[in-house]
Amino acid sequence: MDKPENANAMPPRLVASSPKVERGNDKKLDSCEQPQGGRLDTFRLWTYTSLGDAVQIPTVSFDDMGPPGEDSRWESRRMLHDYLKHRFPRAHTTLTRTTVNHFGLAFHWQGSDPSVRPILLTAHQDVTPVDPESEHDWIYPPFSGHYDGDRIWGRGSGDNKSGVIGILTAIETVIEAGFQPSRTIVIAFGMDEERGGKDGGPAMSDYLRNTYGTDGFAMLVDEGYGFQQRGGILFSTPAVAEKGAYNVRIDVSAPGGHPMIPPRHTSIGILSSIIHTLESRPSPVQLNRDSPAFASLLCRAAYDETLPSHLRPLISRAQRHDTALRSLIQALLDLDSGYWSAVLGTTQAADLIGGGMTVNTLPQAAWAILDHRIADWSSISQLQFHYRSLLQPLLSSHNLTLDAFGDGDLSQKYDVHLSNAYGVLLEPSPVSPTMGRKAWGLLSGVIKDSLAHTQKSVVVSPVLALGNTDTRHYWALTRYIFRYSHINEADFQGGHGVNESIRGEAFIEMIRFYGHLILGADESDLEE
């Protein structure tokens, strides 16, 4: 946790201009911060249009897409690439652009000092599909990119074309200001993050590692959480770790036949019983004192006026006493929002199900797929053990046999199979170091500096990400991975759902952050 400081007190390294940037150019970079008349209005509308035009290109990722270069649905990325080249000519002239596995984009801006490691800024080009049945619920069409005078609307306006356009806008602006980096800057735009980065993530990771080496970057900033106002303080919450992911497929086989004399349980009934058992006995929860979740609680106890008062003494005592720690866990679960059970344990969601062919035929097969986000303290093997321990007694009571994750005899026929669906196999991530580390200090300072105009105190607190980003593929590139989108979370709505949109002023805030991060990294010693 970084202690709050008055927003007027900027970190010294960000007050002084870079030796390569004159103060006049600094003011040019900051032209989007203070109202200055017509030029500012022109800049804002230009940025809103940049994002809106990008939203109009439907770079949708589908689970069943074929290999890049073979499935025509990838081609929308090429349209986006052409648009970016047209919209950001300085960035494309100054930086070297490389295409990775057909549709991933990497940009290289060579710094003058080869002895320092680059920073890596990442985002993703793709978006989630829009349910056709929901299109009539959108205020503006989902790929309109419409700006209504306050918000930019459409799929990707927040997740995550705002990151792509925000980074390139900041790059374009500092180039115009005459900036020349001493530290190399690398940008990577994934092409299929919304489907787990299956084709884009490994290819981009291999390219970056082959080019810059293992642990070749001083730090990495990707999309993630933003900041929120709690009482009179802005809480900024970069995620320093993320949960694992594993999709379990359950297949139930049973004799078919005529339903006029049905068995006690059909395959669909057995599958229903399995799901009911899993949902009624979820994975356990746990809170460790060295976890990002506990660090976040300590930070909130110290500075969050909105924290329920009964939690503050519990959090304090839980630092030293196990009994208090157990009481704290229960108190958090009793808040009953579902949030803390997701933070402290492995989640499960039955998302897909199928079975049966006609109403006049017993179903020979039924299947379901459950999505799991694995707790930072747990593992895939623990999740598999949980399945075996719950389902083996249940199935034995029905005289059914179980093959759990391939541990059965290949020569035998089993009634129920558990397997990995879609190849999603992700352990919880490493935790990025924070307190006392230079990369965390830079990030915290840049966040506070970027929010200086709000005149509010700012607290920067590490948290655990409940979802997954392309950083799942980048662990070997740096120890310092921060998942953070510099946006007031109240200004973004509808992610992965209906009426996705972002306030125009919030988008300007993101661009401000990226610009300050680029300058701050250039002036900072990031080597430990």
Query: Can you say which residues are annotated as belonging to the binding site?
Result: 124, 159, 194, 222, 496
C-alpha distances (whole Å) from 330 to each of 51, 286, 320, 324, 458 are 44, 10, 17, 10, 29
Which residue in 186, 55, 183, 174 sits closest to 126, CA to CA?
55
Say which residues have a Cβ less than 8 Å from residue 130's Cβ, sequence separation at least 6: 60, 142, 143, 155
Contacts of 320 (CB under 8 A, 6+ apart): none
Question: In this structure, are residues 402 and 392 in contact, taking their beta carbons and an 8 Å threshold?
Answer: yes
Q: Say whether 33 is catalytic.
A: no
Q: Evaluate whether 98 touches 206 at the Cβ level (below 8 Å).
A: no
Distance, in Å, from the CA atom of 259 to the CA atom of 162, rounded to the nearest integer, reads 54
CA gap 147, 2 in Å, rounded: 36
Residue type, 151: R
Tokens of 99: 């295409």
CA atoms within 13 A on the CB side of 275: 22
Structure tokens at 306: 């909105």
Burial of 34 (C-beta count, 10 Å sphere; 0-12/13-18/19+)? exposed
Give 66-132 as a DSSP string: --TTTSGGGHHHHHHHHHHHHH-HHHHHHSEEEEETTTEEEEEE--S-TTSPPEEEEEE--B----G
Q: Could you tell me whether strands 501-503 and 151-153 are parallel, antiparallel, or unpaired per DSSP bridges?
A: antiparallel
The CA dihedral of 498, 502, 504, 505, to the nearest 10 degrees, is 150
Match 């792509």 to its residue by tokens: 164
Catalytic residue among 2, 192, 193, 376: 193
Q: Hey, CA dihedral for 39, 45, 50, 53, is it positive or negative? A: negative
Q: 2, 126, 199, 522: which is the annotated catalytic residue? A: 126
Q: Which residues sit in the known binding site for Zn(2+)?
A: 124, 159, 194, 222, 496
Catalytic annotation on 376?
no
Q: What stretch of H or E contains 274? A: helix 267-280
Please list the residues that pair with 481 across neighbouring strands. 220
Q: Are 406 and 387 in contact (CB under 8 A)?
A: no
Active site residues: 126, 193
